[in-house]
Amino acid sequence: MNLDNFFTPKSVAVIGASHTPGKVGHSIVKDFLKAKFQGKIFPVNPDTTPILGLETYASVKDIPERIDLAVIAVPAKVVEKVLKECISKKINSAIIITSGFSETGKEGKKLEEKLKKIIRKKIRVIGPNCLGIFDSFSKVDTLFLSEERMKRPDKGNIAFISQSGAVGSTILDWLHEENIGISKFISYGNGIDVNEVDLITYLAKDEKTRVIAVYLEGIKSDGRKFFESLKRCCKIKPIIILKAGKSEKGTKAVISHTGSLAGSSEVFSAVFKQTGAIEAANWEEFFDYIKVFSTQPFPRGERLAIVTDGGGFGVLATDEAERQGLVLKEPSKNLRKILEKQLPPYVILHNPFDLSGDATAERYRIVMEECLRREYDGAIAIVLFQVPTLDEKVVDIIPEIAKKYQKPVVVCSTGGKFTLKNVGRLESNGIPVYPTPERAVKAFSLLLKYKKQTFFKK
Amino acid sequence: MNLDNFFTPKSVAVIGASHTPGKVGHSIVKDFLKAKFQGKIFPVNPDTTPILGLETYASVKDIPERIDLAVIAVPAKVVEKVLKECISKKINSAIIITSGFSETGKEGKKLEEKLKKIIRKKIRVIGPNCLGIFDSFSKVDTLFLSEERMKRPDKGNIAFISQSGAVGSTILDWLHEENIGISKFISYGNGIDVNEVDLITYLAKDEKTRVIAVYLEGIKSDGRKFFESLKRCCKIKPIIILKAGKSEKGTKAVISHTGSLAGSSEVFSAVFKQTGAIEAANWEEFFDYIKVFSTQPFPRGERLAIVTDGGGFGVLATDEAERQGLVLKEPSKNLRKILEKQLPPYVILHNPFDLSGDATAERYRIVMEECLRREYDGAIAIVLFQVPTLDEKVVDIIPEIAKKYQKPVVVCSTGGKFTLKNVGRLESNGIPVYPTPERAVKAFSLLLKYKKQTFFKK
Report the DSSP beta bridge partners of residue A12.
Answer: A41, A69
Q: pLDDT band at residue B253, thresholds of 50, 70 and 90?
A: low
What burial class does residue B373 get, using C-beta atoms within 10 Å of its C-beta: 0-12 exposed, 13-18 middle, 19+ buried? middle
Lowest mean pLDDT among A86-95, B134-143, B173-182: B173-182
pLDDT tens digits, B331-382 = 999 999 999 999 998 899 999 999 988 899 999 999 999 999 999 999 999 9
Q: pLDDT band at residue B1, thresholds of 50, 70 and 90?
A: low
Interchain proximity B311–A257, CB inside 8 Å:
yes
Q: Tell me how close the Cα of B59 comes to any Cα of chain A, in angstroms.
A: 28
pLDDT tens digits, A341-374 = 999 988 999 999 999 888 999 999 999 999 999 9
* Chain A residues near residue B412 by CB distance under 8 angstroms: none
pLDDT computed for residue A59 by the predictor: 97
Q: How many Cβ contacts (< 8 angstroms) between chains A and B?
A: 240
For an interface test with B, the pick among A24, A97, A170 (most B C-beta atoms closer than 10 Å) comes out as A170
Interchain proximity A247–B319, CB inside 8 Å:
yes
Q: Tell me how close the Cα of A415 comes to any Cα of chain B, in angstroms.
A: 4
What burial class does residue A336 get, using C-beta atoms within 10 Å of its C-beta: 0-12 exposed, 13-18 middle, 19+ buried? middle
pLDDT computed for residue B231 by the predictor: 94
Tell me what the pLDDT averaged over chain B comes to: 92
Q: Tell me how close the Cα of A370 comes to any Cα of chain B, in angstroms.
A: 21
Interchain proximity A386–B311, CB inside 8 Å:
no
Distance of CA A318 to the CA centre of its chain: 29
Q: pLDDT band at residue A263, thresholds of 50, 70 and 90?
A: low
Q: Say what percent of chain B tops pLDDT 90.
A: 77
Give dist(CA A99, CA A16) in Å, integer.
Answer: 13
pLDDT computed for residue A104 by the predictor: 80
| Mean pLDDT in residue range B108-118 | 95
- Is residue B140 within 8 Å of residue B9, measured between CB atoms? yes
* Chain A residues near residue B313 by CB distance under 8 angstroms: 166-167, 170
HEC sequence for B381-415: EECCCCCCCCCCCHHHHHHHHHHHHCCCEEEECCC
Q: Tell me how close the Cα of B441 comes to any Cα of chain A, in angstroms.
A: 12
For an interface test with A, the pick among B130, B170, B309, B436 (most A C-beta atoms closer than 10 Å) comes out as B170
pLDDT computed for residue A458 by the predictor: 47
Q: pLDDT band at residue A258, thresholds of 50, 70 and 90?
A: low
Q: Tell me how close the Cα of A171 comes to any Cα of chain B, in angstroms.
A: 7
CA nearest B69: which of B106, B35, B41, B104? Answer: B41
Residue ranges with strand state E in B53-178: 69-72, 93-96, 124-126, 132-135, 155-162
How many CA atoms lie less than 13 Å away from A91 in the CB half-sphere?
31
Asked if the ipTM is above 0.90, the reply is: no
Give B294-298 contacts, CB < 8 A, sequence gap 24+.
Answer: B294/B156, B294/B157, B294/B158, B294/B180, B294/B210, B294/B211, B295/B180, B295/B430, B295/B431, B295/B432, B296/B408, B296/B409, B296/B410, B296/B432, B296/B447, B297/B406, B297/B407, B297/B408, B298/B408, B298/B447, B298/B448, B298/B450, B298/B451, B298/B458
Tell me what the pLDDT averaged over chain A comes to: 92
| Mean pLDDT in residue range B24-43 | 93
Interchain proximity B352–A167, CB inside 8 Å:
no
Closest by Cβ to B419, choosing from A173, A282, A386: A173
Interchain proximity B312–A384, CB inside 8 Å:
no
CA-nearest residue to A388 within chain B is B145
Lowest mean pLDDT among A10-14, A84-88, B51-55, B346-350: B346-350
Q: pLDDT band at residue A196, thresholds of 50, 70 and 90?
A: very high
Q: pLDDT band at residue A129, thresholds of 50, 70 and 90?
A: very high
Other C-beta atoms lying within 10 Å of the C-beta of residue B327: 12
CA distances from A29 to A13, A21, B192, B259 (A): 9, 10, 70, 65
| Mean pLDDT in residue range A57-63 | 97
A381 three-state secondary structure: strand
B168 three-state secondary structure: helix
